[in-house]
A and B are shown apart, each in its own frame.
Chain A
Amino acid sequence: MNDAIIIDDNRSTADALHQMLTVLDIPTRVAYGASAAMSLLSGFTPGLILLDINMPGVDGLEILAYLRREPRLMPVPVVVITSDDQPETRARVMKGGANAMIIKPATLEFLEENLKKIGVMK
């Protein structure tokens, strides 16, 4: 599997997720925000994307819409990680094409469970 990308402007959350993916043996690159993410994605197709929603400027839902319209990136599994647990948000995220949504703070067990559920891990 190609490296995963974590897209989150909150450094401590992004770093914590990075540690979890490392424990799960998934090589990972980190983008601390939309700008860094778009720069990474322009030249590389990840095997998995963990995506935060609430980011300034270009938010996660816009990035999700972009990913699902870009033929090269369309098949990449996307797990949205957000602190917004409103049912409307979940509906928008899943309708937007995410494969799973996890409410922060994500735990290692729950992340692993979801990655297995969407076929990223066996």
Chain B
Amino acid sequence: MIGLPGIPVKLMVLAKREQGLMVLRGNPNRVKTIQDLGCSDVNFVNRQRGAGTRVLLDYYLKLSGISPESIRGYNQKEYTHLNVAAAVLSRRADCGLGIAATAQALDLDFVPLFQERYDLVIPKEFSDGELLEPLFKIIKEHDFREAVTALKGYDISISGNVILEEP
């Protein structure tokens, strides 16, 4: 069961996106992995509680056995990727989690850490009807794929693939 109790669904991949650390040009603190955030000389800036990026970080911290308390700046928070990037650019922090496009916009370096996948959860009663046909068509269109591919850090190689279908 994916999360719609009593409603069978199809799970279709929309896109994959890279999340990573935004750092100053040249990565002066040489932060390369999530483990490096535990170094006392690295000042991190986090996202607010509830942000998907923070959920992702907490998930990987737990997976790696790293305690949030060991990260300097874990409780410093910003509300958007751009504000995190601006904090790094102004040297209020050494690094923060975000996406490549934001790092690029502020001329920061980007250290890829993990990939998140965006899926469409489609109730089966709508999956073969006319309602969502325009959406499925757009996902397959060359213009759409070209536009997403032009964005740094996005991967649509398997977008449109149905990866799960509940009976």
Contact = CB atoms under 8 A, between A and B. Distances in A.
A and B co-occur in one complex: yes
Interface of A: 34-35, 38-39, 42, 56-58, 62-63, 65-66, 69-70
B39 interface: no
Contacts of A62: 80-82, 102
20 contacts: A34-B105, A35-B105, A38-B85, A38-B105, A42-B90, A56-B151, A57-B101, A57-B102, A57-B105, A57-B152, A58-B82, A58-B105, A62-B81, A62-B102, A65-B80, A69-B78, A69-B79, A69-B80, A69-B83, A70-B83
A34 to B, nearest CB: 5
Q: Chain A interface secondary structure, helix, strand, loop or mixed?
A: helix
Given A65-B82, A66-B83, A69-B83, A58 B107 contact: no
Given A56-B151, A62-B81, 15 more contacts: A34-B105, A35-B104, A35-B107, A38-B82, A38-B105, A56-B147, A56-B150, A57-B104, A58-B101, A62-B80, A62-B102, A63-B82, A69-B78, A70-B83, A70-B86
